[in-house]
Amino acid sequence: MEIEITAMTSGPYGLGHHEGKAVLISGVAPGDVIEAIVAAEHRDYTIARAARVLHASPVRRAPPCPFLPRCGGCDWQHLDYAAQVRIKAELIAAEFKRALGIELPLEGLVEASPAEFAYRSRIRLQVGRDGAIGYHAAGSNDLVAIDRCMVAISESVPANVASQLGRRCRSIEVVADNGREVLIVDLAKTATSAEIAIARRMLESGRGIKGIILRCGGDRITLGDCIITLEPEAGCAIEAEADCFNQVNREQNRKLVAAVIEMAQPREGLAILDLFCGAGNFSVPLARRGARVTAVDADSLAIAAAARNAHRMGLRDTQFIAMKASETARFLARAHYHPDVVTLDPPRHGAAELIAPVARLKPASIIYVSCDCATLVRDLQALHSFGYEIAQVRAFDFFPNTHHAEVAVRALLT
């Protein structure tokens, strides 16, 4: 088929049409004319692969990474960066228009990342049976071995760790922290004394590794210094275990935190409920401004870290609770607590089960931060049924060279 690509989707695919049917093709750019071969037929659409670019879009570029297009990590790196930001704005605006009937201005909707490459403070690398380390190929579990990653702050990958730990090593996360690294190793079985000894020798090798965490299910062994420092705003250093969730684009995170603070308008005595709080990315900066913060997260390690940091900073009017989202919903339904503001930053699947319990607390404003626009607008539709109207939308490109973006929304009770 000869296909003209007219748009991108909220994923790795470009969109075209053939004989009235939608055709989805990865690795293409809007404006490309592609010779495509059908890969899979579905009732409403066709998946195809690009056999040849007949006419290249003006926003297409040769991916700078030598491991593309085999590597599945950066699905938009073949688009120039200005086009990536513009297309993300178009996709976010289209979701809000479709689901909520809201027209968002495209200009300035998505704030570009200060760095297009070397921005990720954390990467997760898969390990093959032969000790090779890398990312999965697009759409498969085949491993593409790499020796560096252009979007990572860390310059090299720990291939020696993977090869020495052997077949029981399934993946390794590399977390950068002020020029040194913490490795989080996922093992198929609980670490043996031999594996612990190997990890200790790695720490002693002087290769910039300051700590190693060996994990298998609920088992967790820490070696060396596994605490990293996060700075969500100037003068606010949060220390947390490296395997607690934190935003990978630290420069953009500071902008996001500033936006949430502006939306929340914290002041002395304002009651704020922070759901999915992690190690206090929003909670601690909000509490520093005098707000009475109650923060909840399922990760007990993150909650303990948040509480430690709040205590160290003298933030006495804070409460951190380790609780799963399902338990939080029941807790909120029974509580006689009425926060002025609720902030929430759920994982990609959203917070559907918490929308009704939160709305029944009737906070004056709800600030919802999301990395998935589809689940965000779904949950905002539910909020609307409880009388909340969208007052502000801001987006940040946390993940250059991928289709992902971070969106922050302020909804007001009318």
**pLDDT at residue 292 in the model:** 97
Contacts of 27 (CB under 8 A, 6+ apart): 12, 14, 50, 69, 75, 78
- Local confidence band at 218 (pLDDT 50, 70, 90 cut-offs): confident
Total structural domains in the chain?
3
Check whether residue 212 and residue 270 sit in a common domain.
no
- Local confidence band at 155 (pLDDT 50, 70, 90 cut-offs): confident
**pLDDT at residue 331 in the model:** 84
Check whether residue 382 and residue 347 sit in a common domain.
yes
**pLDDT at residue 270 in the model:** 97
Rg for the chain (alpha carbons), in Å? 23
- Local confidence band at 131 (pLDDT 50, 70, 90 cut-offs): confident
CA dihedral 303, 304, 309, 311 (to 10 degrees): 110
pLDDT at 166 over 80: no
Does residue 244 sit within a domain?
A: no
How far is residue 281 CA from its own chain's centroid?
14
Which stretches of 101-235 are DSSP H helices? 159-165, 193-203
342, two tokens: 């609720």
Over the stretch 328-387, which tens digit does the pLDDT of each residue have? 888 887 878 899 999 999 999 999 999 999 999 999 999 999 999 999 999 999 999 999
Question: Structure pTM?
Answer: 0.95
Highest mean pLDDT among 55-59, 126-130, 192-196: 55-59
Of 58-62, 152-156, 311-315, the one with minimum mean pLDDT is 152-156
Domain boundary among 172, 196, 227: 227
Does residue 108 sit within a domain?
A: no
CA dist 140 and 340 (Å) reads 46
27, two tokens: 């690795």
Domain boundary among 60, 83, 106: 60
Check whether residue 279 and residue 405 sit in a common domain.
yes
Check whether residue 218 and residue 287 sit in a common domain.
no
Q: Alpha-carbon torsion 185, 186, 189, 190, what sign? A: positive
Catalytic residues: 371
Over the stretch 35-62, which tens digit does the pLDDT of each residue have? 999 999 999 999 999 999 999 999 999 9
Q: Please provide the average confidence, as pLDDT, over all residues in the chain.
A: 94
CATH number at residue 160: 2.40.50.1070
Name the residue range of residue 14's domain: 2-60
CA dist 340 and 346 (Å) reads 20
